[in-house]
Amino acid sequence: MTALTNHDGQHIDTLKAYDQNHVWHHLTPGAAAEKGVSMFVRGEGLRLWDSEGKEYLDATAGGVWVTNVGYGRKEIADAVYQQLIELNYFAGSMASKPAAQFAAKLLQHMPGMSRVYYSSSGSEANEKAFKMVRQISHKHYQGKKHKILYRERDYHGTTLATLGASGQSERRAQFGPFVPDFIEFPHCCEYRNQYSDAENYGLQAAEALEQTILREGPDNVGAVILEPITAGGGIITPPEGYWEKVGEICKRHNILLIMDEVVCGLGRTGQWFGYQHYDIQPDIVTMAKGVASGYAAISCTVTTEKIYTLLQEAPGDTLGYFRDISTFGGCLAGQAAALSNLTIIEREGLVENSAAMGERLLNGFQRLAAKYPIIGDVRGKGLFAGIELVEDRHTKQPVDEAVPIAIAAECKKLGLLIGRTNRSLTGYNNILNFSPALTATVQDIDHIVDLLDQAFENVMQVQG
């Protein structure tokens, strides 16, 4: 198909010129953006078309792990339209039909969780979680238990508090000073084992959390926030025994566990939520991207009844309840989109499909690892996978950033969109990532592996 004009009849070149001159693109250096970035104009399932009419297989779910149910879902568009003509907005202090319906349906997939607090981005959902911890600290611990621990390589958002709670050095650089009393603890990437003992890595990595708690003082630590499987920090699947030990440590020190499911939630990893792969019960779960698959901006901070109760009015406490609001947490189109999105995931068995297709994808990548020594590690769960590229499998020296850039560019030439770590971590911009929509078929998965194989071959040939 060709798309030389948009709905207003404007020539695509005019629109591109407007873009190059006036739009400030996210995470893109100006010099690159001014040369022109792709303009995608249509999507269907896992397929995208750009303004030149070229077709792509999107293995990124919209670039940043968003479009879980795929592009072009008329059913969601209709649900949003119906809601908008019925009632578009009223603040979240009042009840609404889609908010009530979505909360009830979502919680069926989250045993032990009880309350849904709406907002409109992943950062905001995490910011709410932090504010809950801080207010609980003031209401119940005389201002103690206010520190929040986060893990090296995890990312929790773009605001100053959430970025300050993110363990990604290049993302943080030049933005400090941050909100005080967010404390980093070591990562749990087994491929980059930072301890001398090769055995029991999961236990050692969890004990590093406990050492941080002991150093800061358990009376000062209110919560720990973690991604169940680290996304932007390099698709880090936790080592054996890690989560169970982390849960036990948090319980023993009376520390709340905040699970950042902004990426992993809603089926991405082959379970409804990433934490459900492990024997662990969080106190707060945040989610955003797959909640409405990008059909609307919506996020949720989901808590246990205990957290909700701790934040209600108490005798003698004149400041009372959780005094927080998100204007667009009351956007009914978002809730309607989320309800429709969830209905699709249930009806089409997309969580199960993510698990099955994810296994096939990892197997395909393992075959590529047998062929290309540059592949140092393959990891992932469900339709959420990463490939770490190294100079040498023994030293594990990361390849230069130019290599993943060349592979991603070659993939794009061949019609496949893939992700990469993109300088969020000093030293580890050597990881390719893959997260196709959860509707991916056997043919889609095989196509992704074949095109990637071709891209590796082409790039390796050029590099000699």
Count how many residues are written for the chain: 464
Q: Does a cis peptide bond (omega within 30 degrees of 0) precede residue 111?
A: no
- What is the smallest separation between the CB atom of 116 and ligand PLP, expressed in angstroms? 17
Nearest to residue 246, comparing CAs of 235, 232, 257? 257
Contact flag: residue 121 with ligand PLP (CB under 6 A): yes
The stretch among 19-27, 102-110, 119-127, 450-458 that binds ligand PLP (CB under 6 A) is 119-127
Give the strand pairing for 385-389 and 375-380. Answer: antiparallel
Question: What's the closest the beta carbon of residue 232 comes to ligand PLP, in angstroms?
Answer: 5
Q: List the beta strands (DSSP E) in 52-132.
A: 55-58, 115-119
Distances (CA, A) of 377 to 369, 387, 392, 398, 449: 8, 6, 11, 11, 16
What is the closest distance, in whole angstroms, from the C-beta atom of residue 65 to ligand PLP in the complex? Answer: 7
User: Closest separation between CB of residue 215 and ligand PLP, Å?
Assistant: 25
Q: At what angle do helices 97-107 and 332-347 cross, to 10 degrees?
A: 40
DSSP 415: T
* Residue of 67, 68, 119, 123 interacting with ligand PLP (CB under 6 A): 123
Compute how many other C-beta atoms are within 10 angstroms of the C-beta atom of residue 199.
Answer: 7
Nearest to 131 by CA among 219, 255, 223, 210: 223
Beta carbon nearer to ligand PLP, 289 or 447: 289
**Total of residues contacting ligand PLP (CB under 6 A):** 16
What residues contact 297, with CB distance under 8 A and at least 6 apart?
Answer: 120, 121, 328, 331, 334
Output the smallest distance, CB 250 to ligand PLP, in A: 19
Q: Which is nearer to ligand PLP, 155 or 201 (CB)?
A: 155
Q: How far is the CB of 397 from ligand PLP (least distance, A)?
A: 27
Contact 91, 318 (CB under 8 A): no
The yes or no reply on residue 236 touching ligand PLP (CB under 6 A) is no
Query: Residue 343 and residue 5: Cα distance in Å, rounded?
Result: 35
Q: Which stretch binds ligand PLP (CB under 6 A): 145-153, 227-235, 406-414, 421-429?
A: 227-235
User: Which is closer to ligand PLP, CB of 104 or CB of 173?
Assistant: 173
CA atoms of 196 and 210, how far apart (whole Å): 18
Residues 18-57 that bind ligand PLP (CB under 6 A): none
259 binds ligand PLP (CB under 6 A): no
User: Given candidates 57, 59, 61, 64, which one binds ligand PLP under the rule CB under 6 A?
Assistant: 64
Determine the interface stretch with ligand PLP among 12-20, 111-119, 235-243, 260-268 (rule: CB under 6 A).
260-268
> What one-letter code names the amino acid at 214?
L
Per CB under 6 A, does 156 bind ligand PLP? yes
| Residue 8 C-beta: closest distance to ligand PLP, Å | 30
What is the phi/psi pair of residue 436, to 5°? -65, 165
* Residue 122 binds ligand PLP (CB under 6 A): yes
Q: Which of 205, 345, 245 is nearest to 287 (CA)?
A: 345
Residue nearest to ligand PLP (CB): 122
Task: Write out the two tokens for 169.
Answer: 């050095």
Kindly state whether residue 231 participates in binding ligand PLP, applying the rule CB under 6 A.
yes
The rounded distance, in Å, linking the Cα atoms of 203 and 200 is 5
Cβ-based nearer residue to ligand PLP, 322 or 384: 384
Show Cβ contacts of residue 155 under 8 Å, excluding neighbours closer than 6 positions.
166, 167, 168, 171, 227, 230, 231, 232, 233, 424
Q: What residues pair up with 45 in beta bridges, in sequence order?
A: 71
Select the residue interacting with ligand PLP from 136, 161, 263, 368 (CB under 6 A).
Answer: 263
* Segment 268 to 327, residues that bind ligand PLP, using CB under 6 A: 288
Nearer to ligand PLP, 280 or 449 (CB): 280
Give me the least distance between CB of 231 and ligand PLP, in Å please.
5
- What distance in Å separates the CA atoms of residue 32 and residue 18, rounded to the nearest whole number? 15
262 binds ligand PLP (CB under 6 A): yes
Whole-angstrom Cα distance, residue 266 to residue 161? Answer: 25
- What is the closest distance, in whole angstroms, from the C-beta atom of residue 120 to ligand PLP in the complex? 8
Nearer to ligand PLP, 124 or 444 (CB): 124
- For residue 239, cis peptide bond before it (omega within 30 degrees of 0): no
Beta carbon of residue 273, minimum distance to ligand PLP (angstroms, whole number): 13
Interacting positions 404-463 with ligand PLP (CB under 6 A): none
- State in angstroms the smallest separation of the CB of 26 from ligand PLP: 9
Which of 58, 152, 227, 444: binder of ligand PLP (CB under 6 A)?
227
Binding site for ligand PLP (CB under 6 A): 64, 121-123, 126, 155-158, 227, 231-232, 260, 262-263, 288
